[in-house]
C-alpha cells in the first residue's frame, strides 16, 4: 500500500512540475516566435471589416487580412 501511495505522490508532483514548465516556458517560446517572425507591427487602425457568417470568417484590419 505504501508503494502505491509513494508512486501516486511522485506522479502528482511530476504532473505539477510539467504543468508549471508548460505555462512558464510557453510564454518564452511565444516571445521567441515573435522575434523570429520579425516582431509585430503596430499602428493606428483606420478600418475594420468582417467577412463571414458569425461562426467563422476573416477579420480585415486596415485592408489586409
Quick check: 29 and 21 in contact, CB under 8 A? no
How do the pLDDT tens digits run along the chain, 65 residues long? 899 999 999 999 999 999 988 888 776 655 555 555 555 567 788 899 988 887 888 988 887 76
> Can you give the residue range of the structural domain that contains 55?
2-61
* Domain count of the fold of the chain: 1
Q: Report the pLDDT value the prediction gives residue 38, as an integer from 0 to 100.
A: 57
Site of grid cell 493606428: 44
Q: Report the pLDDT value the prediction gives residue 65, as an integer from 0 to 100.
A: 61
Site of grid cell 512540475: 17
CA distances from 13 to 7, 55, 57 (A): 10, 40, 42
Q: Report the pLDDT value the prediction gives residue 39, as an integer from 0 to 100.
A: 54
In this prediction the pTM is 0.41
Amino acid at each position: 500500500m505504501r508503494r502505491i501511495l509513494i508512486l501516486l505522490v511522485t506522479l502528482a508532483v511530476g504532473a505539477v512540475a510539467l504543468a508549471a514548465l508548460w505555462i512558464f516556458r510557453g510564454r518564452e517560446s511565444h516571445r521567441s516566435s515573435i522575434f523570429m517572425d520579425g516582431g509585430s507591427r503596430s499602428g493606428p487602425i483606420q478600418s475594420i471589416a468582417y467577412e463571414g457568417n458569425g461562426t467563422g470568417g476573416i477579420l480585415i484590419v486596415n485592408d489586409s487580412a
